[in-house]
Structure 1
Amino acid sequence: MKYIGEHLLPGQLGHFLVVLSLVASLVATIAYFKASNASLPTEHDSWKKLARIAFMIDAGSVLAIFSIIFTLIANHFHEYFYAWNHSDRSLSPKYLLSSIWEGQEGSFLLWTFWHAVIGVVLIRTAKKWEAPVMTVISFAQLCLATMILGLYIFNVKVGSSPFLLTRHQFADAPIFSGPDYLSLPKIHNGNGLNQLLQNYWMVIHPPILFLGFASTIVPFAYSIAGLWKKDFSWTKPVLPWSLFSGGILGLGIMMGAAWAYESLTFGGYWAWDPVENASLVPWLVLVAGIHTLLIYNSTGHSLRATNVFFILAYLLVMYSTYLTRSGDLQDTSVHAFVDSGMNWQLRSWVFIFVVPALALLIARYKKIPHIAKEEEFNSREFWMFIGSLVLFLSAMAIIIPTSFPIFNTLFGTKLVIGEDKEFPYNRIQIFVAVVIGVLTAISQYLKYKNTSKAYFTKKLLWATVAAILISASISYFGHINYNKYGIGFLSAIHLALFAAVYAVVANAAYIYTGLNGKLKAAGASVAHLGFGLLLVGILISSSKKEVLSVNTFNPLNFGPDKPKEGFENLTLFRGVKTDMGTYWATYVKDSVSTNGRMTWFQVDMERKDGKDKFTLYPDLIRNTKGQEGMSNNPDSRHYLHKDIFSYVNHASSVQEGTDTAQFKNHVVKTGDTLFYSEGFMILDSVTVNPHDGKHQFTPRDTAIMANLSVYTKEQQKLSAKPVFYVRNNSAQYILDTLYSQGLAISLTRIADDKHLEISVKESSRLAPFLALKVLQFPFINLVWLGTVLMIAGFVMALIRRIKLL
């Protein structure tokens, strides 16, 4: 059958280029390997020339594949499953671009693209290390090319092709029985980019993060090359690359934290989500390797540790890739991909790097240059090594519990972190913060080899005193009294706060005194200062995080919060000004996007003292792909010293279906009790012809009001006063509605001289409402300022090291 409107040539060209990339990377790997082992210069040059040509073909193929996929998406060629599944006609150009890396195939391609860019730079700069280093990178390209191959070999699927046709993906679907399937709305419009990902962070965060992941291969490749060739002179040329990788990966991680804070509600910027952890762990190990590399370049110590850390950093990147793409974390993380049927390939990829790399490290370990004499206790290298070791142990303390789902899958165990998913990490990392904070403060005041006690004390005395005074003032006047986990953890918070302030003060002082204000040489100090400031921001914003939406009678416990936390969701009825402690909150209105997928809510906030008024616009997004239901998207009010952070857990306006709740009739007399799902009510008395501010009956009317006391399960007492009356020979009713309880109560008839019929309806649809959670993060801007300074320090150090080559 000839299908109308299909564009098959781009896909055919794309398939060809994927195969060409695979073959070219294989040729580059073999040729670079031959060049590395060549004994004659002419043989070396000949193989290297062939390898360069092959790698450039590979790089060109990857760029062309990338361009073709964007062309398919931008032109809405939905005959291709990848274009149909990850985009639609409503997307703006920036989201059409980011649609490329929504799927597994596109993210692997993005990774491959960055490897290609890095490889081209190394061809121009690596000099004598080009052949062995590029052997490793070319082999990595070969492995990545198989991930987008999409071929079956002996009924085994190898990779997943981004050029698969939609009608092949759904081969048995009736929709493809006609030649004009592309004109049908379902195919024509496209499946779309996940609504949650239609955010500017999706455009910039993944490319930066994947550049960080890809760049970790360079220190790894140099380390492998040194072990392979038994040549350990690679430590100076690799230092700028390791600084680049540490800086860009750290930036990518914190971009993700900012995205989580701004747009993806985890109740803040870090939730110890498994995928967040999987990106953090390689960075911690890489930073440990950077510090041991500095030690070796200055003293000759710690080259063994440097090899271990650089090799493990890249292996952990691959293991993290397996974690996030195997589907094993899909029940524990909103970031993780679902199982795509490529688990065997992912495991093979990890295995094929881990086993040879560790085997080579073990085989060459004793041949790595090593100074038998131990470092002096009062030397810079000793404490830098201790700090690196602490970073490595910190990484292990994170990756092991993160891997529990993998252990359970492979070994049938039932390991769990527990209901509280954050504290198991926090109780360990708080002490890591103490140690790293102090070492970050003191290490630069120490000299390599040996430091006199008098010199050290003189240099650090005033910085230490200032840090003690500042941190004590923050602890006392800032009321740092987070006692949720007891006095022990609170004490650790105060210690960590001192260590973080100490890092800031000591490094600022070092820039001024130790370096005489020479900023060109202050990269490390600026990075350390930024890291200290980041720690201060984390400690204060987390320990002083305050729930403003306290609701002591919260009956509408919706969203992810469990019952014990339900009092943190304030129920707001539209148009009703509601007490929220320091603030008045008013749910004003809501509006729906043109495609019906997003609902914005206008919530006016007003301080009770009248000093501040502002409006929040949190929204709910109807998930179009992946998880069903609605996802909340927060909004924040930013101040210099705090943020007011809000999100909607539930709203009546997004409930589907009609209200099917019915009135239930109860015949009662005075003193009787009626039960409902959230409490009970008692008929206290009956008033004939009530005359008050709400009702204006006269003696000539026939009216009865039932006076009921309603007792909630939160032990609150409310009142309801439904009325029955007769006017113009017609029975009339005046309902009384308790919106907070979802109750409508009616007095429907007089049964006899002692009994009344009370009708009760329970429904969450009685009035438009939303369940709002509002948090206050004090000094959250220190987190972002610290991040900027830390990354700036990496960049400054990188520029300086490049100039020193």
Structure 2
Amino acid sequence: MNYIGEHLLPGQLGHFFALLSLVASLLATIAYFKSNKANLPDDKKSWLRMARYAFLVETISVLTVFLLLYIIISNHYHEYYYAWDHSSRSLQPEYLLASFWEGQEGSFMLWSFWHCVLGWFFIWREKKWEAPVMTVVSFAQFCLATMLLGIYVFGTKIGSNPFILFRDQMPDMPLFSNPDYLSFPRIKEGNDLNSLLQNYWMVIHPPVLFLGFASTIIPFGFAYAGLMNKDHTWTTASISWTSFSAAILGTGIMMGAAWAYESLSFGGYWAWDPVENASLVPWLILVAGLHMNLIYKSTGYSLKSTYVFYILSFCFVLYSTFLTRSGILGDTSVHAFTGADMNVQLLSFLFVFLIPAFVLFFIRRKDIPTIYKEESTYSREFWMFIGSLVLFLSAIVISAKTSTPVFNKIFGTNIAPPEDAKFAHNQVQIFIAIIIGVLTAVTQYFKYKDTPKSYFFKKLMWPTIISLVISLSISIFGNIDYTSKGVGFLAAIHVGIFAATYAVIANAIYIWVGVKGKLRFAGASVAHVGFALFLFGVLISSSKQEVLSQNTTGINVFEKTKNEDPAENITLFKGIKTDMGKYDITYTRDTSNGFDRKKYFELKLEPKDGSEEFYLYPDVLKNNKGQMGFAPNPDKKHYLTNDIFAYITTWSGLSEKPDTAQFVPRQVKAGDTTFYSNGMIVLNKIVVNPPDFKRTTEPGETPVMLDITVISKEGRKYTVQPGFAINAASTSFRNLPDSVIAQSLIIKFDKITDDKNGIFQIGIKETQNLNDLMTLKVYKFPFIVLVWIGIVVMVVGFLMSMAQRMNKNKLSAI
């Protein structure tokens, strides 16, 4: 059958270059391996030349495949299933790249692209180690190329072809009996990009994260080179590469945290989601390996540990790939990939690196230099070793908790995840953070090999005193009273605040005293300051996090669930100013944006402390994949000391017309009846300080309530409790209207007009816009800016260390 409108050439070329990259990467692997093993210089050069040509062909193939798939997506060639499934014609142009890596195939291509870029930088800089390290890189490229094959071998699917045609992907669909199937609206428009990914962070976060993932192969390659060649001098060159990898991977992880803060309704930047955990674990092990490497370079200790940690850091990247792409986390993570029948291949990808590496390590273990002299407990290397082990322990605990679905799958168990996943991790990791915080404060004051006790305590005395004074002041006067998880956890938070303060002060003083203010030599201290600021920001923003949206209206539009409590979600009606504790809030209007297809809500917040009012604009976007309903995107008001963070939990809006209805005043007294368009309103009584008042009042306030019955023409009765709260101390009051949604009716208690005769004024408003309501969650995050500043400073510290090591290596080569 001749199909109309299909563009077959890009797919045919794409599949050809995918196969060419497979062959070229295998050839490069063999040639680099032979070059590394060759004894004669001419043979070594000959194989090396062939390997470089093969790697060049591989690079060209990967870039071409990348470009062809982007052409297919950006031109909306929906005859290709990948383009149809991950994009649409209505998608904003900047999100076409996000469409590229929404699917597994595109993300594997991104990973392969970064291997090519890193490979050429490595070839340019590291001539001595090119052959063995590039053997590993090229073999990883071969494994990634198999992920794009999409063929069956003995009934087992090898890879997933991103260039497969829609009609070949689903050949049984009756639609494809029509040669003009591309004209059908459902096919022509496309399946769209997941609404959770339609955020600018998803354009920049995945490339940075995958560069971090890809870069961990360089330390692994150095470890392979040392074991294969019995040459352990690689530890000098590896430090700068590992510093780069730690900086980039850490940046990618925290870009994901920023995405969660900007786009997901986690209510924050980190939720211990399994996919978050899977990216964090390799970084922790990599940083531990970097510190072991530094120990070896300075003292000769810990070389075996350096090998183990560098091997494990890359292997845990591969394990994370299995967790996030096998579909095994589909029920426990909001952004895991679904399975694509590649579980065996993903596990093979892991074991083909893990098993040979540790077999080679076991064989060569006796050839690895080892110092058997016991280290002094007053040496820098001893405490760096302890810190690295603590980081490794943290990684193992996180990985074990995250791997519960894998454990259940293998052993047939049914271990349920913890009900409070955040606290399950926090109650362990806070002690890890305390230990690391203290160690980053004191370790640099030790000297390598041994340190005189008097010198150590003299240097550390003032940083300790200053830190104690500052942290105690914060604990005493900072109103940190996070008791929901018990007194023990609160105590741990206070100890953590001391550890973070200690790390900032001690490292700042060390920069001044230890390296005489020469910042170019202070990369490690700068990184430690960044980590400490990050830790301090996490502790303060989490322990003092405040829910501002306490439901003062008493109107609950959804049932309490594990994730959301209606008592912490305020209900707002369009145009009605509503009391929200420290703020008056008004849902002023909403509008639909045809460009990004979002519905934006304008919220006016008026602080009661007299500070300037401001507006928030949270939005919702219709979910098109994964779940029904709408995906909420939060909005924030940034201050120097806090963020006000809000997102919509539920909403329903039928009318786009402005609300012009006004409150009509009526004079009534107990027992009187007044009317509205669909019935009558009966004032039963007035109650001062009622025991069952459904509003939330603040300390010092006395509620006054009208007990009213609304009776519709159909005979339905509704109880209404409008009132106000009087604060005698400040001589102020807050109006608390009530509503009958089914009758589109709002009633408020205006004032007492004749106290002697018991006559009151009420306001009655009938509005068709009463159906325009939402429930809103609003948080206050104190000092969250320290989280982001800390990350930036830590990454800068890693990069400073990398530059310092590169300069040292350059000078030593002269």
Aligned to 2:527: 527
Aligned to 2:778: 774
1:159-198 correspondence runs (5 A) = 159-198=159-198
Aligned to 2:263: 263
Separation of aligned partners in 2, 1:409 and 1:475: 45
CA shift at 1:290, angstroms? 0.4
Aligned to 2:701: none
Aligned to 2:799: 795
Structure 1 pair 184–563 and aligned structure 2 pair: CA distance change class (3 A): closer
State whether structure 2 residue 395 is matched by structure 1 residue 395: yes
Aligned to 1:81: 81
CA shift at 1:126, angstroms? 2.1
Give CA-to-partner distance per residue, 1:616-648, whole Å, 9 cap, x none: 111122111222222211111100000001111
Deviates more, 1:408-417 or 1:286-295: 408-417
Structure 1 pair 160–110 and aligned structure 2 pair: CA distance change class (3 A): same
Deviates more, 1:775-784 or 1:119-128: 119-128
Percent sequence identity is 56
Aligned to 2:562: 562
Residue 632 of structure 1 contacts residue 648 of structure 1 at CA under 8 Å; is this kept in 2?
yes
Q: Secondary structure at the match of 1:128?
A: coil
Structure 1 pair 228–183 and aligned structure 2 pair: CA distance change class (3 A): same
Aligned to 1:505: 505
* Structure 1: stretches of 5+ with no match in the other structure: 656-685, 726-730, 747-763
CA shift at 1:417, angstroms? 3.2
Residue 600 of structure 1 contacts residue 618 of structure 1 at CA under 8 Å; is this kept in 2?
yes
Aligned to 2:423: 423
Counterpart of 1:232, as a letter, is H
Separation of aligned partners in 2, 1:357 and 1:60: 29
Aligned to 1:345: 345
Aligned to 1:722: 710
CA shift at 1:120, angstroms? 1.4
Counterpart of 1:59, as a letter, is T
Counterpart of 1:221, as a letter, is G
Separation of aligned partners in 2, 1:107 and 1:564: 33
Residue 97 of structure 2 contacts residue 203 of structure 2 at CA under 8 Å; is this kept in 1?
yes
Separation of aligned partners in 2, 1:559 and 1:704: 29
Counterpart of 2:776, as a letter, is L
Structure 1 pair 157–724 and aligned structure 2 pair: CA distance change class (3 A): closer
Give CA-to-partner distance per residue, 1:265-313, whole Å, 9 cap, x none: 2110000000000000100000000001000001100101101110000
Residue 708 of structure 1 contacts residue 721 of structure 1 at CA under 8 Å; is this kept in 2?
no
Separation of aligned partners in 2, 1:124 and 1:574: 63
Counterpart of 2:286, as a letter, is L
Aligned to 2:291: 291
Counterpart of 1:606, as a letter, is E
Give CA-to-partner distance per residue, 1:385-439, whole Å, 9 cap, x none: 0000000001111110100011111211122332111111111111111110011
CA shift at 1:325, angstroms? 0.5
Residue 722 of structure 1 contacts residue 745 of structure 1 at CA under 8 Å; is this kept in 2?
no
Q: 2:789 is matched with which residue: 780, 785, 802?
A: 785
CA shift at 1:371, angstroms? 0.3
Give CA-to-partner distance per residue, 1:142-193, whole Å, 9 cap, x none: 1000001111223321100110111212212222222222222222222222
Counterpart of 1:781, as a letter, is V
Separation of aligned partners in 2, 1:502 and 1:424: 26
Aligned to 1:495: 495
Structure 1 pair 164–451 and aligned structure 2 pair: CA distance change class (3 A): same
Residue 737 of structure 1 contacts residue 744 of structure 1 at CA under 8 Å; is this kept in 2?
no
Aligned to 2:228: 228
Aligned to 2:459: 459
CA shift at 1:733, angstroms? 10
Separation of aligned partners in 2, 1:396 and 1:134: 29
Counterpart of 1:802, as a letter, is M
Counterpart of 1:512, as a letter, is W
Separation of aligned partners in 2, 1:275 and 1:101: 15
Residue 552 of structure 2 contacts residue 580 of structure 2 at CA under 8 Å; is this kept in 1?
no
1:540-619 correspondence runs (5 A) = 540-551=540-551, 554-556=554-556, 558=558, 561-562=561-562, 565-594=565-594, 597-619=597-619
Residue 683 of structure 2 contacts residue 706 of structure 2 at CA under 8 Å; is this kept in 1?
no
* Structure 2: stretches of 5+ with no match in the other structure: 656-668, 696-704, 722-737, 746-767, 810-814
Aligned to 1:275: 275
Separation of aligned partners in 2, 1:55 and 1:560: 58
Residue 554 of structure 1 contacts residue 569 of structure 1 at CA under 8 Å; is this kept in 2?
no
Please report the RMSD computed on the Cα atoms of aligned residues, expressed in angstroms. Answer: 2.8
Q: Secondary structure at the match of 1:127?
A: coil
Q: Secondary structure at the match of 2:89?
A: coil
Q: Secondary structure at the match of 2:129?
A: helix
Aligned to 1:71: 71
CA shift at 1:611, angstroms? 1.4
Separation of aligned partners in 2, 1:590 and 1:512: 54
Deviates more, 1:506-515 or 1:296-305: 506-515
Separation of aligned partners in 2, 1:98 and 1:40: 49
Structure 1 pair 793–175 and aligned structure 2 pair: CA distance change class (3 A): same
Residue 737 of structure 1 contacts residue 745 of structure 1 at CA under 8 Å; is this kept in 2?
no
CA shift at 1:552, angstroms? 5.5
Residue 742 of structure 1 contacts residue 765 of structure 1 at CA under 8 Å; is this kept in 2?
no
Deviates more, 1:350-359 or 1:158-167: 350-359
Separation of aligned partners in 2, 1:388 and 1:772: 43
Residue 295 of structure 2 contacts residue 381 of structure 2 at CA under 8 Å; is this kept in 1?
yes
Aligned to 2:144: 144
CA shift at 1:766, angstroms? 6.1
Residue 375 of structure 1 contacts residue 382 of structure 1 at CA under 8 Å; is this kept in 2?
yes
Residue 680 of structure 2 contacts residue 710 of structure 2 at CA under 8 Å; is this kept in 1?
no
CA shift at 1:612, angstroms? 2.3
Residue 642 of structure 1 contacts residue 778 of structure 1 at CA under 8 Å; is this kept in 2?
yes
Residue 744 of structure 2 contacts residue 771 of structure 2 at CA under 8 Å; is this kept in 1?
no
Separation of aligned partners in 2, 1:654 and 1:360: 67
Q: Secondary structure at the match of 1:721?
A: strand
Separation of aligned partners in 2, 1:155 and 1:316: 29
Aligned to 1:659: none
Separation of aligned partners in 2, 1:704 and 1:256: 54
Separation of aligned partners in 2, 1:630 and 1:534: 33
CA shift at 1:91, angstroms? 2.9
Structure 1 pair 654–303 and aligned structure 2 pair: CA distance change class (3 A): farther
1:40-439 correspondence runs (5 A) = 40-439=40-439
Counterpart of 1:188, as a letter, is K
Structure 1 pair 157–778 and aligned structure 2 pair: CA distance change class (3 A): same
Separation of aligned partners in 1, 2:692 and 2:9: 67
Separation of aligned partners in 1, 2:282 and 2:416: 23
Q: Secondary structure at the match of 1:91?
A: coil
Structure 1 pair 597–376 and aligned structure 2 pair: CA distance change class (3 A): same
CA shift at 1:742, angstroms? 5.1
Deviates more, 1:553-562 or 1:600-609: 553-562
Structure 1 pair 43–713 and aligned structure 2 pair: CA distance change class (3 A): farther
CA shift at 1:366, angstroms? 2.9
Separation of aligned partners in 2, 1:654 and 1:204: 36
- How many residue pairs get aligned? The number is 747
Separation of aligned partners in 2, 1:466 and 1:733: 69
Structure 1 pair 93–732 and aligned structure 2 pair: CA distance change class (3 A): closer
Separation of aligned partners in 1, 2:609 and 2:649: 28
Aligned to 2:35: 35
CA shift at 1:715, angstroms? 6.5
Structure 1 pair 551–298 and aligned structure 2 pair: CA distance change class (3 A): same
CA shift at 1:351, angstroms? 1.8
Separation of aligned partners in 2, 1:498 and 1:654: 53
